[in-house]
């Protein structure tokens, strides 16, 4: 993160003006560095332990219209499987795709009108596919799961389609796992930020199938480096993530309150129950 205060560079010992460098936690202390002097962080080495990361995992990702999952409309979705196959959907949401959303994922109104499936039809297929995975207790991997899960849940309800028994799902969220094992992380926390650290190929950012595959690889890499995480049974891991996500959210809320930012952090995982700004 950007250094809020000036200080001596932890590497070259010359002065770093406030806002001109980086503040990085090394061990138990925060140090200031010039951008070119900042140490390169490396993830712990992979272990030889076994665990849930050795099991078949299904990646799930979607791209949509707005950041609020209860209000968004899905425009693409993907499920990626351990055998290398995938199911993908391009969806005409029936509403204009905002320019900032198109800038993020590259999907335009013309694309979905020409090649997209009708929303009701595609969502019915996605809901059926995910519901079967949940019923079969197949672990789903979703990076920042509350967005994807809540968006799909909301879209199914919006179109009068059967809901998914999310309370029976087993979900692995690499963003939650990372925050648990790297509590003093000072860098970016998006999928593209974490992949290099965990030696994962990020693929094409904000392309549903690519992000779903990267999320699975990221989850496996975190578990391979942290035996405590890998040794947990998947049901226990799911329950632990509910607790970890809430604790992480409370920490972030305290930071927002302390810095005078009028923002509300959701604490529900993986399904949000209250609409809010993200």
| Angle between helix 174-181 and 234-258 (nearest 10) | 70
Instruction: Say if CB 110 and CB 97 are below 8 A apart.
Output: no
Average pLDDT over residues 221-226: 98
Q: For residue 209, what pLDDT band results from cuts at 50, 70 and 90?
A: very high
**Residues in CB range of 199: below 8 A, 6 or more apart:** 43, 221
Backbone angles phi, psi at 32, to 5 degrees: -105, 140
Instruction: Say if CB 117 and CB 92 are below 8 A apart.
Output: yes
> Alpha-carbon distance 119 to 69, whole Å?
16
What separation in angstroms does the CA of 229 have from each of 87, 116, 140, 226, 237? 29, 39, 16, 6, 8
Which tens digit of pLDDT belongs to each residue from 188-199?
899 999 999 999
Q: How much is the pLDDT for 26?
A: 66
What separation in angstroms does the CA of 220 have from each of 63, 96, 112, 142? 23, 37, 33, 12
Which tens digit of pLDDT belongs to each residue from 234-244?
999 999 999 99
Q: For residue 5, what pLDDT band results from cuts at 50, 70 and 90?
A: confident
Q: What percentage of residues in the chain have a pLDDT greater than 90?
A: 84
Sign of CA dihedral 130, 75, 111, 143: negative
Backbone angles phi, psi at 89, to 5 degrees: -135, 135
Q: For residue 262, what pLDDT band results from cuts at 50, 70 and 90?
A: very high
Q: Model-level pTM?
A: 0.89
Which tens digit of pLDDT belongs to each residue from 30-68?
889 988 898 778 899 999 999 999 999 999 999 999 999
Per DSSP, the chain holds a count of helices (H) and strands (E) of: 9, 10
């Amino acid at each position: 993160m950007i250094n809020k205060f000036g200080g001596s560079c932890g590497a070259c010992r010359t002065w770093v003006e406030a806002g001109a460098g980086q503040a990085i936690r090394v061990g138990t202390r925060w140090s200031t560095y010039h951008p070119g002097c900042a140490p390169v962080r490396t993830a712990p080495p992979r272990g030889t332990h076994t665990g849930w990361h050795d099991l078949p995992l299904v990646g799930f990702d979607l791209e949509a219209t707005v950041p609020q999952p209860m209000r968004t409309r899905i425009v693409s979705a993907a499920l990626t499987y351990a055998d290398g196959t995938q199911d993908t959907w391009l969806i005409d949401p029936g509403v204009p795709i905002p320019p900032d959303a198109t800038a993020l994922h590259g999907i335009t109104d013309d694309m979905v009108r020409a090649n997209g499936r009708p929303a009701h039809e595609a969502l019915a297929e996605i809901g059926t596919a995910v519901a079967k995975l949940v019923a079969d207790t197949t672990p789903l991997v979703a990076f920042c799961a509350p967005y994807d899960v809540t968006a799909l849940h909301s879209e199914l309800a919006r179109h009068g389609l059967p809901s998914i028994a999310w309370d029976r799902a087993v979900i692995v969220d690499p963003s939650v796992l990372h925050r648990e094992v790297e509590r003093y992380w000072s860098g970016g926390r998006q999928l593209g930020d974490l992949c290099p650290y965990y030696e994962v190929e990020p693929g094409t950012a904000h392309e549903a199938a690519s992000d779903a595959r990267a999320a699975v690889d990221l989850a496996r890499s975190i578990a391979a480096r942290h035996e405590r995480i890998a040794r947990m049974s998947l049901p226990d891991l799911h329950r632990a993530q509910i607790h970890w996500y809430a604790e992480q959210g409370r920490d972030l809320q305290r930071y927002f309150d302390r810095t005078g930012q009028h923002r509300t952090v959701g604490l529900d995982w993986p399904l949000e129950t209250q609409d809010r700004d993200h």
